[in-house]
Structure 1
């Protein structure tokens, strides 16, 4: 059952990451990394598919190989996280507790992304 749940979460996350390639409001790299984490525990075939895919692989290969996340991808992901969370907390969410939780989550994700090792090259150089 856990394998099916992980594959489902991975596939949804992969879909969001793929949409993020063409829709700048969605951060691509974090979604693809989440899908890889799910696939690593549920499907070797899907895990290798993502890494070898010519459109998806470049976003995560440096991180998976231990080289880190390209600085451009880090900055873009953090910017988009704060853009979407900021928009939600100002215009969509009216409950203070939920606003606070979203801001704490955004801060935690930002800290996590920023403290990961930075790759020497940008994703456009692959």
Structure 2
């Protein structure tokens, strides 16, 4: 089972690192998943992620307090709004727009109800 967690952690870490350079791929959720997987399989890799100067603080905020920084909240909500706007401009069907709007509303509500993390 440890090998499965380690493999998933590596996959999610890779996807998170791709998200740094690809604007359509989120970074933080994949890094949070990687940290969770590494916590179950590799204390060394989990510790490395937590100690990383860029990736560590949001992961620690989440693990310790279930918190998301205000900056991350603004970025996430802005990205969600931009995706919905692009979909409207692209002329997607009302069914697709409705599904997107509902999912974005649920995701946005989750984000907004999390405590604020440490200031950047």
- TM-score w.r.t. the length of structure 2 is 0.68
CA positional deviation for 1:49? 2.4
Deviations 1:72-103 (A, max 9, x none): 1111122123323543565386582x443333
1:7, CA displacement in angstroms?
Answer: 4.2
Distance 1:64 1:51 in 2: 10
2:69–2:117 contact (8 Å) kept in structure 1: yes
The residue aligned with 2:74 is 75
Mark the structure with the bigger radius of gyration. Answer: 2
* 1:53–1:103 CA distance, 2 compared to 1 (3 A): same
Q: Aligned residues, how many?
A: 120
Which stretches in structure 2 are left out of the alignment for 5+ residues? none
- Root-mean-square deviation (CA, aligned residues, Å) is 3.3
Tell me, in whole angstroms, the C-alpha distance in 2 between the residues paired with 1:15 and 1:48.
17
Gaps of 5+ in 1: none
Aligned partner of 2:107 among 95, 109, 112: 109
Q: What is the TM-score with the length of structure 1 in the denominator?
A: 0.66
Partners of 1:20 and 1:26 within 8 A in 2: yes
Q: 2:33 and 2:100 mapped to 1: Cα distance? A: 19
CA distance in structure 2 between the aligned counterparts of 1:9 and 1:106, rounded to whole angstroms: 26
